Chain A
Amino acid sequence: MTTPRRAVSLISGGLDSLLATKIILDQGIHVEGINFYTGFCVEGHTHAIRKKDKQKEKRNNALWVAEQLGIKLHIIDVIDEYKDVLLNPKHGYGQNLNPCLDCKIFMVNKAQAWAWMEENQFDFIITGEVIGQRPKSQRKETMPIIARESGADDRLLRPLCAKNLPPTKPEVEGWVDREKLYGFHGRNRKPQMALAAEFGFTDYAQPAGGCCFLTDKPYSDKLADLWQSRGSREYELDDIMLLKVGRHIRPKSNFKLIISREEGETHYLKGYKNEYLTLQTISHNGPIAMIDGDPSEDDLLLAARIVARYGQGRDATQVEVEFRSPTGERTQHKVMPLAAADLNPEWHV
């Protein structure tokens, strides 16, 4: 009895990687999944933070896919390494700050580095890519670029569109039967949905706007603002997580406010109280706000007036706001809530 060939599959949690993996599993290949966490993955974050989304199921789709397929899943933290991909994309950005082609090359490269390791000993890599499905990274011209620049070369197999591409080593060597692979192309999802039905998959993540915050314009705008205000494009995980939470208001270039929009975000922002100056109205119910930057005394009073504007005392003549320093010192200030007309729309990041 021969040992089955081994493939590692890039699992995003979406339908395409689910199908690509299933196709190869059905050919008797041992498959394990790999999933990379960049810090920008959409995966459940806003659901986890926002109370209004509490009823939504908080599943990690990559884990869910692995369980449906009965395969192991290795989730790898690439937050630090990913910075270079985001900051210096050789192939440029998409519509927003999404470096999709460089991202795919990076992930396939990481997967092959992991897969060829002595303790892992995989034979090839599979992805759920489909020619023509994504305007930036999944085009006929980009498929060989990804294979070549990632270093995976002819050991990179795309089961969903393999018939539209030259045969890869797993096909040439007969590890997989090319006839049982597919020739999907374009943005039409119906062939994938039909195949899912054929396999008996009725529940899978619906493709809607991608799996990365960097494809989202408001998020990219906040990231660009962060870089501009700091005069540097360096970032830490907390920086990019906080861009997903609250209203971001920058009244002046030297500071911005992050104001919670509901109870879940208030709870989340409180977790940062020992790192940032926080403000909260105490005479009336209201949100919590965090200050990022280096405000003056006058700036802090403006910040307090803005925070008061978002609380239940917005129509009161005076609202008491408490400041809490990162070391726990508290001071109280009475301010007049900022009038709606005085809240410059351009302050909203």
Chain B
Amino acid sequence: MSEHLELNARRLLCPMPVIRTQDKIKQMTHGDTLTVICTDPGALNDIPTWCRINQHRVIRQETINDEYLITLEVGPSAPN
């Protein structure tokens, strides 16, 4: 059964949200989903780029009260 997790990456500036996402995904499996909550708008570009490189899929991007929520699905490749 797939798991959904959240990652608090508030106040971190890129590339730290990407690094934290990368580290979190190492503990997850194919099909799990992760919502990363960021305050650095750079994450809106960097996390999707990192996902494309590593075959993960961005499902949703939202902006709520100056916070950026990026939800991704862990891809089939070996943990990065």
A47: B residues at CB distance < 8 A: 42
Q: Which of A62, A71, A267 contacts B66 (CB 8 A)?
A: A267
Contact B14 A73, beta carbon cutoff 8 Å: no
Known: A72-B53, A72-B80, A74-B80. A63 touches B46 (CB 8 A): yes
Contact B80 A271, beta carbon cutoff 8 Å: no
Contact A64 B13, beta carbon cutoff 8 Å: no
Contact B13 A48, beta carbon cutoff 8 Å: yes
B contacts with A, residue count (CB < 8 A):
23
Contact B19 A48, beta carbon cutoff 8 Å: no
Contact A43 B14, beta carbon cutoff 8 Å: yes
B40: A residues at CB distance < 8 A: 48
CB of B4 within 8 Å of the partner chain: no
A37: B residues at CB distance < 8 A: 15-16, 19
Contact B18 A271, beta carbon cutoff 8 Å: no
CB of A181 within 8 Å of the partner chain: no
Q: Across the interface, name the chain A residue whose C-beta is closest to B38.
A: A48
CB distance from B45 to the nearest CB of A (A): 5
B49: A residues at CB distance < 8 A: 59-60, 63-64, 67
CB of B35 within 8 Å of the partner chain: no
Q: Across the interface, name the chain B residue whose C-beta is closest to A63.
A: B49
Chain B 19-56 interface residues, beta-carbon cutoff 8 Å to A: 19, 22, 39-42, 44-46, 49-50, 52-54
Most buried by A among B10, B39, B40: B40
CB of A135 within 8 Å of the partner chain: no
A41 to B42, CA, bound (A): 14
A316: B residues at CB distance < 8 A: none
Q: Which of A62, A73, A74, A77 contacts B16 (CB 8 A)?
A: A77
A49 to B39, CA, bound (A): 10
A58 to B46, CA, bound (A): 8
A160 to B53, CA, bound (A): 25
* For the complex of A and B, 4 pairs with smallest distance between CB atoms: A58-B42, A63-B49, A48-B42, A271-B11
Q: Residues of B with Cβ closer than 8 Å to A?
A: 10-11, 13-16, 18-19, 22, 39-42, 44-46, 49-50, 52-54, 66, 80
